[in-house]
Structure 1
Amino acid sequence: MKKQLMIAAAIGAVGIGVWAFLPPNVTPPDQPQTAEIGAALVRVTLPASLSPNAQLGQRAYDTVCVACHGENGNGRNGMGPPLVHKIYEPSHHGDEAFQRAVALGVRAHHWSFGDMAPVPGFTRADVKMIITYMRELQRANGIN
């Protein structure tokens, strides 16, 4: 009886540990999407307010990025990954990774959406404001 209780407790602890390390409201990249094309991939909690730089970034993001990466970085099924996702936390994809993706494009490596082409017309300063916007959204969703 004691051994069975210890096994059940160990299984429960492992389950809680796995759950604790999953980012909130996120579908893992290897899990197939069943939503229709263009549907949002994650739910994004908006912060109470955005800094002035993040507001500028939101406007720039909404001009081009939203078409693939969705409203507020929530991703679009079959079109582009969510940027409000643990994969894009600063320790894994630093700000320069975003700068390079916009300037040079990027080969698909975490998701199966295909390669991202360079995005013409954005300066490094524009992208910096977009990054500020994404980082504020990420923090509001527990991604630091």
Structure 2
Amino acid sequence: MKQKSLLIGLCALVGVATYINLRPAPADNASRSTPAVGTAIVAIQMPRLEGNAVIGQRIFENACAACHGSNAVGVEGAGPPLIHVIYESSHHADESFQRAVATGVRSHHWQFGNMPPVEGLTRGDTEMVIQYIREIQRANGIN
């Protein structure tokens, strides 16, 4: 019984720690100013891209960067960064990106509003964009 209580307590502690690490930090108006609308949300290291990821980058910059930012760093006031632990493959598999592009997404992790479907992209186009996003994620320690 003691081990079971310890295990439950440990699981609760891990859950709280995970929540704290994933939730946005509270605003402290005295020490920080609100980021300007249109600025990048995250800083990243860009890898050297090869193959389909290069094509994916071109597609992304034309179809997605207005909201998700150049190199998927997000845009304050427009859309979330895709180079973020929330979008690692174990939480958002490649098919979730396919469905987001095809049918849109209801807002659930961020406060940017719902994402509409992206017109004009095929599954193949989206696959190349996914390869591009995954390469940047890996280069930034997100798997």
TM-score by length of 1: 0.78
Q: What is the match of residue 114 of structure 1? A: 113
Q: How does 1:42-57 map to 2 (within 5 A)?
A: 42-47=42-47, 49-57=48-56
Deviations 1:105-134 (A, max 9, x none): 000000000000000100000000000000
Aligned equivalents of 1:29, 1:62: Cα separation in 2: 28
| Structure 2 residue 73 is the aligned partner of structure 1 residue 79 | no
Q: CA RMSD in A?
A: 1.9
Q: What is the match of residue 89 of structure 1? A: 88
Q: What is the match of residue 11 of structure 1? A: none
| 1:29 Cα deviation from its structure 2 partner | 4.8
Q: What secondary structure is seen at the aligned counterpart in 1 of 2:61? A: helix
Aligned equivalents of 1:71, 1:134: Cα separation in 2: 11
User: Where in structure 1 do 4 or more consecutive aligned residues deviate above 4 Å?
Assistant: none
Deviations 1:7-41 (A, max 9, x none): xxxxxxxxxxx6xxx6xxxxx55335811111000
Q: How does 1:14-33 map to 2 (within 5 A)?
A: 29-31=23-25, 32=27
Stretches of structure 1 that go unaligned for 5 or more consecutive residues are 1-17, 23-27
Number of aligned residues = 120
Stretches of structure 2 that go unaligned for 5 or more consecutive residues are 1-16, 28-32
Percent identical among aligned pairs is: 55
